[in-house]
Structure 1
Amino acid sequence: MLTKGGCPKSALSIKDALEVLEGRWKLLILFALSSGKKRFGQLAREVPGITDKTLSKELKNLEANKLITRRVLDTFPPTVEYAITEHGMSLEKVMEELHFWGLAHRSLIIGTPVNAE
């Protein structure tokens, strides 16, 4: 049976998940935050290639979807700290599986085994 959008009902939850995680940066940001709280500059360094504008947009989106929290610290100048939520950490197994799939895929395409770090 199809939904109004033409997606089979059984795939609707996958569609929902992909809409929340779409783009090339969100999982990388969540992965960086999975090791602990980070400030904006730290995240920018840990997600190489992302622009400040894109990082800001993605952080707002992840916060709106309750995958991360944003906390403004009472300092001068104000410091903002980002942390992954429990809901965001529920993606830990997904990120781990994507990591291993990526290693296997790279090995298949390149033809040489890649170390699992």
Structure 2
Amino acid sequence: MAGRKKNSTYTRNEQYIIDCDLTYAVSRIGGRWKILILDKLDGKKQRFSGLKHELPQITERMLTLQLKALEQDGLVKRTVYAEVPPRVEYELTEMAMELVPIFKQLSRWGGKQRSLVNFIR
């Protein structure tokens, strides 16, 4: 936040968002790929190549960035095995596992809303 004014609209809005529990939570899982990555890790460990295979539209760079962000936020655990070549696996943390029932409920809601919109069209 170097150079940003403490009283700027952006800074005030950012603080408001951080202070709201709901927007804080959404900011941790928001973005185009994070929820999909978390969904692919539900109940299993995955290697980078496995995630890339399950999400063919994501670039390797974006997958790397999103995994790093999820790891920093404590939602994904990265394990490096001392093998040659090194093996790296990703899995959900306990914190992320708390989100699974919420994601399933949100998915049901999304499916219901999408079918209603398609029915209306």
Partner of 1:37: 45
**1:86 is matched by which residue type in structure 2?**
E
- Looking at CA atoms only, which structure, 1 or 2, has the larger radius of gyration? 2
Unmatched segments (≥5 aa) in structure 2: 1-11
**What does 1:6-25 align with in structure 2 at a 5 Å threshold?**
7=16, 12-25=20-33
Hey, what's the Cα distance between the residues in 1 that align with 2:17 and 2:98?
Answer: 25
Q: Report how far residue 48 of structure 1 moved.
A: 3.2
Task: List 4+ stretches of structure 1 deviating above 2 A.
Answer: 4-9
Q: TM-score normalised to the size of structure 2?
A: 0.81
Larger mean CA deviation between 54-63 and 68-77 belongs to: 68-77
Q: Deviations over 1:18-42 (max 9, x none)?
A: 1111101101111111120000000
Partner of 2:3: none
Q: Report how far residue 8 of structure 1 moved.
A: 8.1
Question: Larger helix proportion, structure 1 or 2?
Answer: 2
**1:51 is matched by which residue type in structure 2?**
T
Cα distance change, pair 110–48 in 1 and its aligned pair in 2 (3 A): farther
Larger mean CA deviation between 28-37 and 103-112 belongs to: 103-112
Q: Report how far residue 52 of structure 1 moved.
A: 0.6
Q: Report how far residue 65 of structure 1 moved.
A: 0.5
Matched, 1:105 2:113: yes
Which of 70, 75, 94 pairs up with 1:62?
70
Give the paired residue count: 108
Whether the aligned pair in 1 keeps the contact of 2:17 and 2:23 (CA below 8 Å) is no
What SS does the corresponding residue of 2:20 show, helix, strand or coil?
A: helix
Hey, what's the Cα distance between the residues in 2 that align with 1:24 and 1:109?
Answer: 22
